[in-house]
Chains A and B, each alone.
Chain A
Amino acid sequence: MAAADSPSAGLRRRDLCSRGIRLAGKMRSDVMDLLDTYVEWQGLDASASVAAVEGVPVAAVERWDEQTGTQRLLENLAAYRAFRVLLAQMLEEQQEQLGEADTALGRALAAVLLQVSAFTYHLEELLQLESRGTPSEEVAVPAPPSQLGLFERKLRGLGVLRELAQWAVRSARDLRQLAKPSPGISSAPSPDESP
Chain B
Amino acid sequence: MASAETKREERRRKILQNSEDRMRKLLGQTGKDTEKALNIPPESELSLNKSKTTITSDSEQNDINQALKSSINNTAADVLSESKKDSTIFNSPSFKDEIDKTVVKDKKTLGTGIEHPVTQKTDQLNKDDIQRMLDVMRLGLVVLLAVVVRWILSFGFGIIFLQSMFVPFIITEIVFYAFHHMNNQEIILRPKGSLLSGALVLCGIKPELIATYNQIMGYMNAIVEDFATYLFAFLICNIFMGREVK
- The judgment on whether A and B are partners is no
B residues with CB within 8 A of A: none
A residues with CB within 8 A of B: none
